[in-house]
Amino acid sequence: MTQTLAHFLRSINNNLLQVRQPILHKVLKVFYGLSALVYKSNSKRKSETVTITNFDRNLKLKVNTAGSIGATVFWTGFHEFHELLFLNNFLKPEMVVVDAGANIGIVTLFAAKRVTSGKVIAFEPVPSVYQRLKENIELNQLKNITSVAVGLSDTTGTLPIYEIDSHNEGLSTLYPGDLRQLRHTEVPIVPLDETINAYSIQRLDLIKMDIEGGELMALRGMKKVIQHYRPVVMIEINQKAYSSAGYTPHDVYTFFQQLGYTPHEITKSGTLQTTTTEATFANIVFLPA
């Protein structure tokens, strides 16, 4: 019964990406709100691995229903809906995307479905998470994804990455601060500037980055790539994670300002809106001038 209900809610919610008629859109938003309530009421589900067969209508996605990311997708069909709505509007078949901090592959798969003649390069350094990413790519037999089991930074080497005691399975970090740590493992890190030639790309249209505090170092390690290709960059601004790593959101805003980029908020309709306020926790899209 649970899986049937979740499948039904996801199927209804998937229409939000295509529907443009205002009245129908409002009706669908009611269903989306209902699915969010069901998700919250089931927030203490036991750990269970489930393969969703209608993620983004027809993609398969293996998730853990006890984690906040997995449970959100299980019940609503989305994680960070407005960001996916923006990507749905922005992505074109010929584009090339870098997904830094790919996790289990939500953005990777979503983008790969749309960039049919382009490609997605997905970076995920945590071994257990990378394995789930690979499984999800293989489930969908998508040939335009290159998955890479490394983290992006400004140096080449290895660093300990910490899995955090949290219901949020996206919180593995190089910079744990005062967060309670479950375990850590050594992972390889590389600058994108030094490795980009390995992927044989002629263009780069979008970088999505969510790496829990490692953002500024990764940006410094891809400065030449950004200057050359001028991609759109969607990045998670997270003041707490940044503080653990020894910098502030202002440092990230300054990095982009010096490269001629301007910050934009993602609206509820998936469009972009220029902002002059520096966020402390949000996904911000930086556009080249």
CA distance 209 to 153: 12
User: 184 vs 41, which has greater pLDDT?
Assistant: 41
Q: What's the Cα-to-Cα distance from 30 to each of 26, 33, 79, 233, rounded to whole Å?
A: 7, 5, 17, 31
Mean pLDDT of 5-32: 93
Mean pLDDT of 16-40: 91
The reported pLDDT for the residue numbered 206 is 99
When pLDDT is cut at 50, 70 and 90, the band that residue 221 belongs to is very high
The reported pLDDT for the residue numbered 177 is 62
Q: Which domains does the chain have, with CATH numbers?
A: 1-79 (no CATH), 80-288 (3.40.50.150)
Give the pair of three-digit tokens for residue 87: 């990507």
Does the pTM of the predicted model rise above 0.75? yes
Indicate the SS3 state at residue 60: strand
User: 276 vs 161, which has greater pLDDT?
Assistant: 276
- Name every residue whose Cβ is closer than 8 Å to that of residue 68 and which is 6 or more positions away in sequence: 167, 168, 169, 170
Phi-psi region of 101 (alpha: psi -120 to 50; beta: other; left: phi over 0): left
Bridge partners for 206 per DSSP: 97, 232
pLDDT tens digits, 102-114: 999 999 999 999 9
pLDDT tens digits, 112-121: 999 999 999 9
Are 74 and 56 in contact, with CB atoms under 8 Å apart?
A: no
- Name every residue whose Cβ is closer than 8 Å to that of residue 252 and which is 6 or more positions away in sequence: 215, 216, 219, 235, 237, 242
Given strand 157-164, what is the order of strands in its sheet? Answer: 151-152, 181-190, 157-164
Residue 86 confidence (pLDDT) above 70: yes
pLDDT tens digits, 195-211: 999 999 999 999 999 99
Q: What's the Cα-to-Cα distance from 160 to each of 175, 176, 252, rounded to whole Å?
A: 9, 10, 23
